[in-house]
Every structure is written in structure tokens, then in C-alpha cells.
């Protein structure tokens, strides 16, 4: 981490890279700079070579009072990578769990290692339900979450139809479950007429568009 910080500091100073969006992928194993216990101070980078086209870099990392009095040094090579913010589980979460504040955190991960469906805003996940368990640190994707159903299949829901001067409501049976904003089919239990309605609240839905047939004559509105 200290070696990466020294490189990033130099890259920012010399090439104007964004430190928050810049990461380093070192060649081989993670580099280690061994130094005597009495040697203190931050690691520094010098002799930096960076190719903007290939994004390859090499540099000397050292500890010591000054560049001319280096006490410990290694050379490192690697590549600059882009980092982006993504939403991850901040703790283990079980399947069926409704996501709350604190369940999700935002971390920076290498952009090239992420799929196009990575979620970048953890706040958008609150209130969603997990379709599968998630370990701490696991990247969360849209396919991992669903909106909670507020109407279940078979529920009797209050269906409304409103246009200027006309307001009708009736109790109908939901033929499918739905989350807020979903379009579901509902059936008039008396006339057996099937309509498409949009879920607007728990136990409620709305029919839009032209008047849906003989609603007024088939049913007395429930006020």
C-alpha cells in the first residue's frame, strides 16, 4: 500500500492523474521494500517512466533522508488501471433479506474486472430483496436483487380508474404478484373481465387509458 501510494503521488504530480480513480497492478508478486527498523519516513518514488498509451510504468521506490542518501530501494514495474465505485455487501446477507442502510458500502474496484451490470450507487438498493445470499465484500448486481412485492397473487386489490370528472374504484383479484410500478392482470370476480393495472401501493392498483369497457354498469363503485 505504501509503495502504491508513493507511485500514485508521483503520477498525480507529473501526469495529472486522478488519485481516487487510479490504481496500480504490479508485475508478479506484490513488491516488498525491506528496511532496517530505525529507518523511518514515507516511501518515495523517483525515476518514474510512464507511457500514457500502454499505461505501463516503472520506477524506483526508496526510503532515506533524501534521494541522494537512499538507505533502501527496489525497482517496480506494472500498469496503471482505472478504478470505479461499485456497491458491495458490507456484511454477510441472507437470501430474502431486505436491504437497509448499512448493508451496502461503496468500494473502488478495477474497472476492467467489472461487468457492464455492476451497480455504482448503493443508495438505489435500499428496499430491494436479495435473490441469493451475499458474502461480505461481494459485488452486488441487478440480477441479485428484486423489488419487494406489495401485491401477492390472489390478493383482493382496490383498483381505481380516474379521469377528469370520473372516479371509479372496485375490488378485483390479482392474477399475479407485483412490486410498486409493475403492471399486473386483475380479474373482476363478478363479470370475470380481465384488466391490466399498475400497482400503486400495497393492496392498490390503477387502470389507465380509455375507460375499460362497461366497468360502471358491471360494478357499483366501492367508495
Cα–Cα distances (Å) from 154 to 40, 67, 172, 195, in that order, read 71, 76, 9, 15
Task: Say what the pLDDT of residue 81 is.
Answer: 92
Give the pLDDT of residue 219: 43
- The cell numbers describing 218, all together, are 358491471
For 38-66, write each residue's pLDDT tens digit.
Answer: 777 788 999 999 999 999 999 999 988 77
Cβ count near 169 (within 10 Å): 17
For 106-118, how does the pLDDT look when each residue is reduced to its tens digit (9 = 90+)?
888 888 877 776 6
What pLDDT was estimated at residue 72? 85
pTM for the full predicted model: 0.56
Mean pLDDT of the chain: 84
State pLDDT tens for residues 172-184: 999 998 888 889 9
Amino acid at each position: 500500500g505504501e509503495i502504491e501510494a508513493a507511485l500514485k503521488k508521483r503520477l498525480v504530480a507529473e501526469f495529472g492523474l486522478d488519485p481516487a480513480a487510479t490504481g496500480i497492478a504490479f508485475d508478479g508478486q506484490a513488491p516488498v521494500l525491506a528496511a532496517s527498523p530505525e529507518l523511518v519516513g514515507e516511501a518515495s518514488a523517483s525515476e518514474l517512466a510512464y507511457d500514457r498509451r500502454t499505461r505501463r510504468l516503472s520506477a524506483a521506490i526508496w526510503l532515506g533522508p533524501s534521494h541522494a542518501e537512499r538507505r533502501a530501494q527496489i525497482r517496480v514495474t506494472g500498469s496503471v488501471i482505472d478504478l470505479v465505485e461499485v456497491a458491495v455487501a458490507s456484511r454477510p446477507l441472507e437470501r430474502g433479506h431486505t436491504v437497509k442502510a448499512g448493508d451496502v458500502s461503496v468500494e473502488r474496484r478495477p474497472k476492467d474486472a467489472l461487468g457492464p451490470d455492476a451497480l455504482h450507487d448503493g443508495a438505489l438498493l435500499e428496499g430491494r430483496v436479495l435473490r441469493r445470499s451475499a458474502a461480505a465484500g461481494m459485488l452486488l448486481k441487478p440480477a441479485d436483487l428484486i423489488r419487494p412485492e406489495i401485491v401477492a397473487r390472489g390478493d383482493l386489490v382496490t383498483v381505481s380508474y380516474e379521469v377528469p370528472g370520473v372516479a371509479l374504484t372496485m375490488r378485483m383479484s390479482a392474477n399475479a404478484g407485483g412490486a410498486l410500478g409493475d403492471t399486473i392482470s386483475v380479474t373482476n370476480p363478478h363479470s370475470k373481465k380481465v384488466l391490466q393495472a399498475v400497482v400503486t401501493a400495497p393492496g392498490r392498483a390503477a387502470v389507465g387509458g380509455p375507460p375499460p369497457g362497461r366497468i360502471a354498469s358491471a360494478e357499483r363503485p366501492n367508495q
